[in-house]
């Protein structure tokens, strides 16, 4: 789905106040230990993949908030040893090494100017994910509850986009009150069309809908999710 990726990059570049999280599986390393995929299935060499990723992402390098490793990049560590990340090379070339995380990242995003009374602060956790598609949002809910204050958890890995909303009761000891805090758990889309890899694994067709979020400047905070 090369065209869809390019179209998405252009949309991000040309839309004010739009930012992106790259949640893993940007590069694909088909090696001998890969599941349902070998070196003969890849259409690009490893270096061609790195160079192409740099070329594609360069126009929006200033819009990238976070870059996570995925299991497809992690395959290389199985043969090269811990610590070598091809995705880190991409980030280095783009000048955003501080945005790279090996497993997961936590973002604090403030909406509004410092003097705004309605200024809102959001906590977003992004993790590539490691579960079945059917169990993704449930496992994500359990994982997000380990982090007090999380407003949005982003997962990927399973290819199919999903969004789930949960409510958590929080005891406000300062005001002697119990409030309901909303948690959004989302599985982001992939750009995987029918190919040898998906057909061998009997993966369902991937939705081509992009997962996006509006973070509103509101005292009570509000995340509007779109597929």
Nearest Cα to 208, choosing from 186, 188, 223? 188
Q: What is the pLDDT of residues 86-129, one digit of tens each?
A: 899 999 999 999 999 988 999 999 998 888 877 899 999 999 99
Q: Which two three-digit tokens encode residue 174?
A: 């300062």
Q: What is the pLDDT of residues 152-183, one digit of tens each?
A: 999 999 888 999 999 988 888 989 999 888 99
Q: What is the pTM of this model?
A: 0.89
Separation CA 134–CA 93 (nearest Å): 37
pLDDT interval class at 79 (50, 70, 90): low
User: What is the average per-residue pLDDT within 1-20?
Assistant: 93
Q: Residue with structure tokens 């869809």?
A: 4
Identify whether the C-beta of residue 136 lies closer than 8 Å to the C-beta of residue 164: no
């Amino acid at each position: 789905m090369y065209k869809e990726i390019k179209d998405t990059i252009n949309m991000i570049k040309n839309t004010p106040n739009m930012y992106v999280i790259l949640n893993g599986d940007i590069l694909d390393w088909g090696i001998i230990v890969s599941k349902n995929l070998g070196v003969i299935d890849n259409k690009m060499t490893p270096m061609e993949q790195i160079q192409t990723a740099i070329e594609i992402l360069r126009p929006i390098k200033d819009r990238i908030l976070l870059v996570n490793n995925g299991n497809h990049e992690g395959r290389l560590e199985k043969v090269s040893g811990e610590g070598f990340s091809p995705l880190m090379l991409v980030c280095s070339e783009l000048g955003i090494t501080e945005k790279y995380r090996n497993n997961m990242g936590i973002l604090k995003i403030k909406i509004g100017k410092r003097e705004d009374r309605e200024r809102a602060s959001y906590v977003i956790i992004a993790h590539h994910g490691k579960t079945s598609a059917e169990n993704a949002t449930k496992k994500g809910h359990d994982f997000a509850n380990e982090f007090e204050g999380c407003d949005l958890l982003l997962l990927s890995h399973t290819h199919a986009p999903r969004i789930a909303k949960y409510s958590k009761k929080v005891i406000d000891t300062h005001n002697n009150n119990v409030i309901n805090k909303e948690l959004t758990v989302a599985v982001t889309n992939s750009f995987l069309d029918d190919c040898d890899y998906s057909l061998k694994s009997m993966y369902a067709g991937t939705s081509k809908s992009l997962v996006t979020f509006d973070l509103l400047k509101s005292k009570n905070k509000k995340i509007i999710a779109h597929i």
